[in-house]
Structure 1
Amino acid sequence: MRLGYKIAKRFLKSNLGQTFFIILGIAIGVSVQIFIGSLIQGLQKSLIDKTIGNSPQITITSLTDDKRILDYDKMIADIKTVDSSIDKVSIASDNAAFLEYGSNSQSLLVRGFNIEDANKIYNFIDRLKEGTYPQKENEIILGIDLKDEYGMKLNDTVKITTPNQKIMNCKVVGFYDLNVASVNKSWAITTLETSQNMFDTNNSVTSIEIQVNSNSTFIADQIGVKISDKLNNSSIKVDNWKAQNAQLLSGLQGQSISSIMIQVFVLISVVLGIASVLAITVMQKSRQIGILKAMGIRNSTTSYIFLFEGLILGFFGAVLGIAFGLGLSFAFTKFAIGPDGAPVVALYISYPFIAGSGLIAIASSLLAAFIPAIRSSKLNPIDIIRNN
């Protein structure tokens, strides 16, 4: 085997130009794989973060006529024991109301939270543009779009009318921006106690909202089933983001499939290129191989020569390709930027994916060398020497 390795190195060094272009071809294939794969994964991660990164991934609502959930403390205690990937749990009391400010009026969704728990999901505090979060009774925060539309200011008082014609004056203590115009114009966020008192709902909520850790985002539906089985309550409904965002999920799956197809065809072209070049090398080196066999080298050793060639070419091609791929991905984030100067798609580096791409390139190169290796082992030294 060692002799086969030494001869393989000598063969590769004897035609450095050809060796360089084979390595370059492999490197380009690997770099395309890494760039396309990283781009698609970065795009998907960005879409997921923007869509559900700061929102619940599992939501429990009531199927009763009043849409209220009682005894939610016990439910939360049970939920936290279902799966270790359950990261954040929050409760919400949502009610439709009517907002009046000066001569302006509109419908509104009043959302009451335990602010500290809800902030872990929605990140309200970091998204406050002005003021602070509600801490006392009858304090609310509104969206920045509503502020701009009506010309509101901090500490202004707004009138909120409930469906039961109950009127409450609330103090605006802050303005948030959740980067969704419809939300910024329609949500009034307050404390759980304020919402319950405003709508006379006593100690009840309308939903329990759950977020799982980032590694479990795509199995939120399975975790939702576990939660449903654990609670075993026919008066509630357990929903998940995958069911609520079927079109987004379909788009992500389409992106993944197209990325895999591109990578497969690039890999096939690399394998065919290596196999054809090594097959030609067998013909070019047939005289040397014949002489070596006449000197007593076994057929297995001649096979090792080309297997080692494939391994060496694949290794250096993979290393160079990883460097090219990372460089291309980094350059893309610097040149493809949005109006705010941020990258259109953030740089996403998955070390397992990059290592996997390199190993696949090496394995493919080794596979491509099998046919030339078998062919070389079948060469008859007498025929070769006679014909040359």
Structure 2
Amino acid sequence: MRLAFKIALRFLTSSKGQTALIAIGIAVGISVQIFIGSLIEGLQVSLLDATIGSASQITVNPEEKNTPIDDLQDIENWLTETYDEITAITPTLTQGGFLKIGDNTEQVVFRGFDLNKANEIYKFDAAITEGTYTLKENEVILGVDLAKNNNLKIGETYDIITPEGTISALKIVGFFDLKVASINQSWIIGSIDLARDIFDFSSSQGTAIELQISEPFDADLLTEEMTLTSTQKDVKFDNWKVQNEQLLSGLNGQSTSSLMIQVFVVISVVLGIASVLAITVLQKSRQLGILKAMGLNDRTSSFVFLFQGIILGILGGILGIIFGLGLLWSFTKFALNPDGTPVVPIFVNYGFIGLSGLIAVAASTLASIIPAQKSKKLSPIEVIKNG
């Protein structure tokens, strides 16, 4: 084994140009694999964060539409005690109404939250553009577009009218921007206790429980389990996958296309290495013939080319990782939005990068099997006789 390794190293160093060319070829393939894989993963992470990163991933809704959920706190307690996967949970009360602005009224959606809990989902502390989300009594925050379109100011008080005709006064203490136009144009957010007072709900009632989980892609499995184990028969469990089927289909399509590209890149690397090493067998056949005549056995001669494949794979893998990280860095510096942020945020998965390096070694080793087998068949007498 040691002799085979030394001969392989000698063959590689005696043809430095050829060795460098093969290593660079491997590196280019692996760098493309790293770049494409990281780009697609970054795009998916970005899309998921924009879509469900600050939204409910599983929602407990009433079985019968437009009816309240009773015993809201009991259901919340059961969920938090039963499922460790839950990372954030908040009871909500959502109702439509009309905001009276002078002689006009604006149709709005009033959302009552336990704001400390809801902040873990909606990130109000980061979404506030003016004022505060720390609310007292009749205080609320509004979407920036709702405020802008109606020239509403912080500190002013307006009436909200329920569908039943009840009128309640609301004091504006802040504006938020949740990056969704429909939300910014219609939402008024207050405490869940204020919502209960306005819309005449009892202290134990609400319209939903919203939660986020540690693995968003497991939301469908978790909702099935919740449905089976729940003792509350007047509620149902919905998840973001059902509500975002087109997004999920797009993400799956991206993953499949990325995988196909990476597979074909690896195949091209394997074929390239195999062809070059096969030529190397011919180039080094005279030396191999002499070595075999001196006592080098077939097994050792085959290991010469296997070691060459492993060495080339290691060199190519290291260079490929360096090139790939360089491509990712360049992309974040030159492909920019007008505000200077990257067009697609790059998500660096070190596990994937390490796997790509291992794939380089495995592909190179696999490619060396054919020339290794070919070297075993060389007859030292024929090679030396025919030159």
TM-score, with length taken from structure 1: 0.98
Q: For residues 284 and 178 of structure 2, what CA distance do their matches in structure 1 show?
A: 67
Is 1:238 matched with 2:256? no
Equivalent residue number for residue 25 of structure 1: 25
1:96 aligned partner, one-letter code: G
Q: For residues 2 and 104 of structure 2, what CA distance do their matches in structure 1 show?
A: 86
- Give SS of 1:210's match: strand
Q: Deviations over 1:106-162 (max 9, x none)?
A: 211100011101111101122111111252222111011111111111011122110
Q: Deviations over 1:286-317 (max 9, x none)?
A: 11111111111110000110000000000000
Equivalent residue number for residue 247 of structure 1: 246
1:109 touches 1:186 (CA, 8 Å); kept in 2? yes
Equivalent residue number for residue 261 of structure 2: 262
Cα drift, residue 229 of structure 1: 2.1
Pairing of 1:299-314 with structure 2 (within 5 A):
299-314=298-313
1:82 touches 1:227 (CA, 8 Å); kept in 2? no
- Give SS of 1:291's match: helix
Q: For residues 74 and 165 of structure 2, what CA distance do their matches in structure 1 show?
A: 33
Equivalent residue number for residue 364 of structure 1: 363
1:112 touches 1:189 (CA, 8 Å); kept in 2? yes
- Give SS of 1:340's match: coil
Cα drift, residue 346 of structure 1: 1.2
Aligned CA distance change for structure 1 residues 323 and 248 (closer, same or farther; 3 Å): same
Aligned CA distance change for structure 1 residues 159 and 134 (closer, same or farther; 3 Å): farther
Q: For residues 119 and 165 of structure 2, what CA distance do their matches in structure 1 show?
A: 30
Q: For residues 149 and 339 of structure 1, what CA distance do their matches in structure 2 show?
A: 26
Equivalent residue number for residue 189 of structure 1: 189
Q: Deviations over 1:201-241 (max 9, x none)?
A: 1120000001012xx11111111222222213331110011
Is 1:97 matched with 2:111? no
Pairing of 1:1-388 with structure 2 (within 5 A):
1-64=1-64, 66-203=66-203, 204-213=205-214, 216-388=215-387
- Give SS of 1:315's match: helix
- Give SS of 2:289's match: helix
Q: Deviations over 1:225-278 (max 9, x none)?
A: 222222133311100111110000000011111111111111111100000000
State which drifts further: 130-139 or 42-51.
130-139
Cα drift, residue 103 of structure 1: 3.6
2:195 aligned partner, one-letter code: S
1:141 touches 1:175 (CA, 8 Å); kept in 2? yes
- Give SS of 2:158's match: strand
Unaligned runs of 5+ residues in structure 1 are none
Q: For residues 101 and 157 of structure 2, what CA distance do their matches in structure 1 show?
A: 8
Aligned CA distance change for structure 1 residues 354 and 323 (closer, same or farther; 3 Å): same
Q: For residues 81 and 64 of structure 2, what CA distance do their matches in structure 1 show?
A: 25
1:223 aligned partner, one-letter code: L
1:113 aligned partner, one-letter code: F
1:23 aligned partner, one-letter code: A
Q: For residues 64 and 36 of structure 1, what CA distance do their matches in structure 2 show?
A: 46
2:131 aligned partner, one-letter code: G
- Give SS of 1:81's match: helix
2:372 aligned partner, one-letter code: A
Q: For residues 39 and 167 of structure 1, what CA distance do their matches in structure 2 show?
A: 52
Cα drift, residue 320 of structure 1: 0.4
- Give SS of 2:82's match: coil
- Give SS of 2:210's match: strand
1:154 aligned partner, one-letter code: I
Cα drift, residue 65 of structure 1: 5.5
Cα drift, residue 66 of structure 1: 4.3
Cα drift, residue 167 of structure 1: 0.9
1:134 touches 1:190 (CA, 8 Å); kept in 2? no
Q: For residues 232 and 193 of structure 2, what CA distance do their matches in structure 1 show?
A: 26
2:322 aligned partner, one-letter code: A
Q: For residues 302 and 82 of structure 2, what CA distance do their matches in structure 1 show?
A: 56
Q: Percent identity?
A: 51
- Give SS of 1:93's match: strand
2:223 touches 2:239 (CA, 8 Å); kept in 1? yes
State which drifts further: 234-243 or 274-283.
234-243
Q: For residues 227 and 124 of structure 2, what CA distance do their matches in structure 1 show?
A: 28
2:208 aligned partner, one-letter code: S
State which drifts further: 369-378 or 72-81.
72-81
Q: For residues 223 and 82 of structure 2, what CA distance do their matches in structure 1 show?
A: 10
